[in-house]
Amino acid sequence: MAPANFKPVEEQLAYIRKGVAEIVPEAELKAKLEQSIKTGKPLRVKLGVDPSAPDIHLGHTVVLRKLKHFQDLGHTAIFVVGGFTALIGDPSGQSETRPALTPEQVQANAKTYLEQVYKILDREKTEVHDNNEWLGKMTSFEVVQLCGKYRLARMLEREDFRSRLAANQPISVHELLYPLMQAYDSVALHADVELGATEQKFNLLVGREIQREYGQTSQVALTMPILVGLDGERKMSKSLGNYIGITEAPQDIFGKVMSISDELMWLYYELLTDFTDRVIVRLKEEVRTGVLHPMDAKMQLAHYIVAGFHGEDAAKKASEEFRRVFRDRQSPEDAPIQKLQPSEPKRLSALLVELKLASSRSEAERLIKQGGVEVGGTRIDDVQKQIDLSKPSEFLLRAGKKKFVRVVVE
């Protein structure tokens, strides 16, 4: 008899399939789930992450949430910190060799990363490993043995390597080791399933082959889509300034979610919520027929995301503040005052950076182009716009959905 926490296979598959890009192969996953129910033994589901940066944004949470789905179904969630592989650098999707990180940087990043991961995963039920536990102890002979289990021609089939060769860009030998090292993680942990973004598919498939070479049953590779960032065009990335960090203030997360397009909202619903496909289809139909306003659908999404990281009370407060400031067009009561000395006219994008309403000139220009900047209640969409600071004046400057400064030129 199946344990109480194991649902029927088709019910598990329906939950797992939501938002998934590809399951390779799905028939094997179904067989593994059937065997799991029969034996009462949970599947070992692995996600490896190299802590190359200390902060997590919503793009990172897409695959983390899928790991949580397996955890919810009663399977073993294995989170692998790439303490060793981060020193190599994953070449996936890279047009050039990644800069090397120091062991100290990796460990510092891993510490803060894990605390953020536990906002999604159950701390008590998550198996955590640092792959330096086994990769750092491999002898030179064992590394050579591992390399002997895969062909160079197969390695060079991957698109990023192939495109770099075609462009006469260098590929370092250590980069060829990365997929093998990640694959060996699956051997060390006896993984039944490995998760990753779509750009990780090659690495996950190498894991299937290497497990067979070591006499293990191959893992199932499950990939998740890349989350598009706030600009609606490129993948969410801190370097591109189009991200939503999960540790940002509730009102900032809420405002950023509200800034995405109505079309992009549905991808966020699919990848960042546990709403069923049926519920999402119903919401889409209600918006299409005018029963539900797109703004209200987006506010529901923003509320859900904020509540997941900061709690229901914080989500309610962020929602109320948004309604007051943006729907009722009121200025925030606590807008900070920034006093400036008279000066030559200054480009608006430069002023936004100076007042810390944008982290960079590129982010400021993106906000302006998207109509997310207002000066004295007037929306500005010209990135060349100059602000007259030559004489005493006062005006409210808004950037994005939640950032205000009352500028006073003395």
The answer to whether the CB of 387 falls within 8 A of the CB of 350 is no
DSSP E strands, 119-180 = 126-130
Q: How many residues in total does the chain contain?
A: 410
Q: Read out DSSP for 367-409? A: HHHTT-EEETTEEE--TT-EE--SS-EEEEEEETTTEEEEEEE
Q: State the amino acid at position 6 in one-letter form.
A: F
Q: Which helix (H) or strand (E) holds 193?
A: strand 193-197
Return phi, psi of residue 90, to 5°: -70, 120
CA-angle at 322, arms to 238 and 389, nearest 5°: 70
Q: How far apart are CA 329 and CA 269, in angstroms?
A: 27
Domain 337-409 part of CATH 3.10.290.10:
yes
CATH entry, 9-224, from 3.90.550.10, 3.40.50.620, 3.40.630.30, 3.30.499.10: 3.40.50.620
pLDDT score at 2: 42
pLDDT score at 4: 47
Give the contacts of 230 (CB within 8 A, at least 6 positions apart). 236, 242, 243, 244, 256, 259, 260, 366
Q: How far apart are CA 191 and CA 77, in angstroms?
A: 10
Would you state the torsion angle of the CA atoms of residues 206, 82, 217, 143, taken in this order, to the nearest 10 degrees? 70
pLDDT score at 241: 84
Q: Are strands 378-380 and 337-340 parallel, antiparallel or unpaired?
A: unpaired
Q: Are strands 373-375 and 378-380 parallel, antiparallel or unpaired?
A: antiparallel
Q: Which residues pair with 195 in a beta bridge?
A: 47, 222
Residue-range domain boundaries for the chain: 9-224, 250-327, 337-409
Edge-to-edge strand ranges of the sheet holding 76-81:
22-24, 220-224, 193-197, 44-49, 76-81, 126-130
Q: How far apart are CA 57 and CA 243, in angstroms?
A: 6
**Domain spanning 250-327, CATH class:** mainly alpha
pLDDT score at 93: 66
Give the contacts of 342 (CB within 8 A, at least 6 positions apart). 389, 390, 391, 392, 409, 410
CA-based nearest residue to 349, from 329, 363, 338, 334: 363
How does DSSP classify residue 125?
G
Q: Is 282 exposed, middle or buried (0-12, 13-18, 19+ CB in 10 A)?
A: middle
Give the contacts of 328 (CB within 8 A, at least 6 positions apart). none
- HSE-up of residue 40 (Cα within 13 Å, Cβ side): 4
Q: Read out DSSP for 83-95? A: TTHHHH---TT-S
Q: Which residues pair with 2 in a beta bridge?
A: none
The answer to whether the CB of 365 falls within 8 A of the CB of 400 is no
Q: How far apart are CA 253 and CA 38, in angstroms?
A: 43
For 4, the 3-state DSSP assignment is coil
Give this prediction's pTM.
0.79
DSSP E strands, 137-235 = 193-197, 220-224
pLDDT score at 45: 98
Return phi, psi of residue 27, to 5°: -60, -35
pLDDT score at 329: 57
Which segments in the chain show pLDDT lower than 50? Answer: 1-4
Q: State the amino acid at position 213 in one-letter form.
A: E
